[in-house]
Amino acid sequence: MSTSRGISGVAVLTIAIVLAGCAARQPPSGATGLIEVTERPAERALLAGMRAYDDGQYAESEKSLKSALAAGLTGAKDKAHAYKLLAFIFCTSERVADCEAAFRAARTADPAFALSRSESGHPLWGPVYRRVVR
């Protein structure tokens, strides 16, 4: 009889541990998944702008990034990234005043915004960025 109680206690303990592990894996309440995020117009436009930029389609990227910002990106890092890519586009197309403004907007959106070492060393936008962040 004591053996069956011991097994029962172990079973209860095992179930409790398994349930605790499952509870730990639950996303926080209010968490948003990738599918939900990409259904938002602003975030969808940001992704399109990033893809176009990576594909060298800078006019299309600029249009999508501006659309993303106008549609109301909510994340500070998302806004800063959109402005950063716009700054790169502006600097490479010799629109220096727009490039400076985009870098300033990136810092306003996310005060922790900074270019990586390789990005800040770029010959076209590196000097503009360094001038803006002084």
At 43, which amino acid appears?
E
- With a cut of 90, say whether residue 18 has pLDDT above it: no
pLDDT in tens, 39-55: 889 999 999 999 999 99
pLDDT in tens, 55-114: 999 999 999 999 999 999 989 999 999 999 999 999 999 999 999 999 999 999 999 999
- Please state the three-class secondary structure of 34-74 as a single string: HHHHHCCHHHHHHHHHHHHHHCCCHHHHHHHHHHHHHCCCC
Residues 6+ apart with CB under 8 A from 102: 83, 84, 86, 87, 90
Going from the N-terminus, what domains does the chain have, and what CATH number goes with each? 2-26+33-133 (1.25.40)
pLDDT confidence of residue 39: 81
Mean pLDDT throughout 26-38? 67
Q: How many CB atoms lie within 10 A of CB 108?
A: 13
